[in-house]
Amino acid sequence: MIIVKDLHKTFENNHVLKGVSYHVHQGEKIVIVGPSGSGKSTFLRCLNLLETPTSGEIWFDGQLITDEKVNIDRIRQHMGMVFQNFNLFNNHTIMDNITLAPVKLKLMSKEEASEKALTLLDRVGLREKADAYPSQLSGGQKQRIAIVRSLAMNPRVMLFDEPTSALDPEMVGEVLAVMKELAETGMTMVVVTHEMGFAREVGTKVLFMDEGRIMEENTPAEFFANPRCDRLKEFLSKVL
Ligand code: ADP
Ligand code: MG
């Protein structure tokens, strides 16, 4: 579904991604871990072109999306993204947050979008918040809404960048539970997280990024039981 070939990203003279190549197949749950500053967010943001790669290729569903002529908005429609800090529109109700984009992009009528929103809100147990504003929600609730908002676009893949890092500890579980349920529906997911339990339980593959490269890739069982490179051993000794 996604093919990344020799991806490089440089900010001014900071060479952040130093040749990342990777394939994501449909239905996979790729979990990316690694130290802060290793390029995890930059990698995710390149996947949906929130950052423009300096060089390299990204293919999505057979289309070369790093091509200049590509319609970036069309690509992003199919790639949901959930950020650490929710990024909800604070001056809009939850219902509007979920329905504005699909209606504006003419993917659905207002009625269809509202109906879909209610179904999704039910799925995450927040139907009664449809008319509330983001400021009236807890962090965990906001993040569940952010996930619903992405899902309302019927994405082909969901990208998560540390979705639980900004949450109070007691709210982490409710967000991970929604992500786990989503994984069970067969959604293709790429998740940057520090939640090693999630990586172990939900990941089909776990990647270790360090200094702009994928240093190691393995099944969760092997990744945690038999880390090969010293950097990963050291990283795991700190986080586990
Ligand atoms: P991680 O998500 O693994 O913590 P990031 O991808 O956020 O790492 O950052 C990797 C490096 O890229 C850092 O040195 C960071 O300062 C730099 N960086 C990220 N985004 C930008 C940006 N928009 N402009 C300049 N430098 C950036
Ligand atoms: Mg990051």
pLDDT value of position 240: 86
Nearest ligand, CA 166: 2
Q: Which residue lies with its CA nearest to atom 27 of ligand 1?
A: 11
pLDDT value of position 21: 98
pLDDT value of position 102: 96
pLDDT value of position 4: 98
Distance 166 CA to ligand 2 centre (A): 12
For the chain, the maximum distance between any two Cα atoms, rounded to a whole number of angstroms, is: 55
What are the phi and psi torsion angles at 140 (to 5°)? -65, -40
Q: Which residue lies with its CA nearest to atom 26 of ligand 1?
A: 11
Q: Which residue lies with its CA nearest to atom 25 of ligand 1?
A: 11
Q: Work out which ligand 1 atom sits closest to the CA atom of 192.
A: 2
pLDDT value of position 163: 98
pLDDT in tens, 97-127: 999 999 999 999 999 999 999 999 999 999 9
For the Cβ of 13 lying below 6 angstroms from any atom of ligand 1, the answer is: no
pLDDT in tens, 182-192: 999 999 999 99
Sheet with 205-210, strands from edge to edge, namely 79-82, 157-161, 188-192, 29-33, 205-210, 213-218
Nearest ligand, CA 11: 1
Nearest ligand, CA 51: 1
Distance CA 202, CA 211 (A): 25
Sole residue written with tokens 């270790």: 208
For the Cβ of 9 lying below 6 angstroms from any atom of ligand 1, the answer is: no
Query: What count of residues does the chain have?
Result: 240
- List the structure tokens of 91: 């001056």
- List the structure tokens of 67: 């091509």
Report, as ranges of residue numbers, the positions in the chain whose pLDDT lies below 50. none
Q: Which residue lies with its CA nearest to atom 21 of ligand 1?
A: 11
Distance 93 CA to ligand 1 centre (A): 32
pLDDT value of position 99: 98
